Structure 1
């Protein structure tokens, strides 16, 4: 069996053991908080949240449709399909929490592992240990820095978006940093006044300053490569819609909407309902050329934002603004 086939077979076996099907289950054997921990991790998983968002977007569309229509019946089937997938994922998470509850581990300090769990008689083993130790030192510095940066980012997000938008991308990062604190403490110890801790702080500040300067330079160059469009007023968005469709129809502020936090966008869901066949063909063509695959039925909110992006980009280029 070739390497790729072995890898495929290993993945297939892992997938089997990751499913709840083959296990005997008695949910009462495990304390309730273990299931809560498992569900907490699941609710922070980006893939699970994306599926939940798609499900909710369909529900929002269904709420706007006429009761009993064929469209709403089709949407209900799509929502039910996603509900089954969500339910199975949650059930799998609970079952695996039950199965893994009785798994026990022995915990040792890293120094103990290096002393008693490494076969130094093997050729090149000391060099491998030295490389591992060096990379763990890097982890200690970077995890400490990452924790500070994430705290700043979350504070920045609140300052920009207020409490109208929730961000969960960094929840997993925070948990990961908590796990990495063990390496951090193994480097500096628990007493900040020791020579080892003082050495760490001395280099930590200089490394942080260097990275901050380099990243600032990188960020400025990146913004030049991928500049954001200017912020346009509602009046300018109306002008952009009319310009995009060659002023064949006069559109007004009826098609301009606002998000909960006050941002402005084009209500593409309402707009597409009044477009002529030629206007619809034009919009679809430009959307396709832009590589946009978002559709109004599956992701209405993002569809509005992508249509807004495309129309404003055309407006931006037509006006010759930078």
Structure 2
């Protein structure tokens, strides 16, 4: 009923809107084309086309079959390449989790463009997570590789780690914030009076981390680094930001940096991947980072 030639015939008629034009494109007679569709409609028990003396249009059932036929034929056409890829040890699906600090749409799109050009039959899924949520996703979900896990040591014997660099931090606030008085010493007691702005750790199974908050200090939790930056600029809170990210904003006068009694230590981030079931795609991504290739430069801006 749904052999490949019949589906291609149906698809051609739907796209051309004509039995005769479909026959010309497929190098068949109009009678052959009509007979195939007649058998298909008889076997399914539904009309797929509305026919008039001047035009052919799809019925609701025809529209449904059109969507399915395109998907089926696309899958069939791509299957030889997929089988060759699997036989060559290339993964069919690669899931990649990225630390919020290293994530950027441009960085992801550049890496994805390189990957798709090299592995056209592999499916890719990118996820953006925060703090221990990166480790959590790599360890407990079906993810092959993580860009920016915290630390330089693996949390499992089946994980390999490649250090990427350290994020340096600056304590910042809005120029209009009450604490922006150079003659005032920023003691912990004084800092505690004003809210800290932090990004919520996305870990679900591992212990969540708090970036910076003094005992008893009010905290505003936001979903990403972009919102945290905007909150600091708006003067609603204080806290730390990556040095490369806030330096331009300080130069523009949108933020100011101050020293506090306990400055935040640098945060090492690493590339991490499963060693047991990694294929050529993961190996290539690891190689890009180890060689600091241009395809991954967008991820490295927190360390610049």
In proportion to residue count, which structure has more helix?
1
Q: Which has the higher contact order (CA 8 A, sep 6+)?
A: 2
* Fold in common (TM above 0.5): no
- For normalisation by structure 1, the TM-score amounts to 0.20
Q: Normalization by structure 2: what TM-score?
A: 0.21
Please say which structure displays the higher CA radius of gyration. Answer: 2
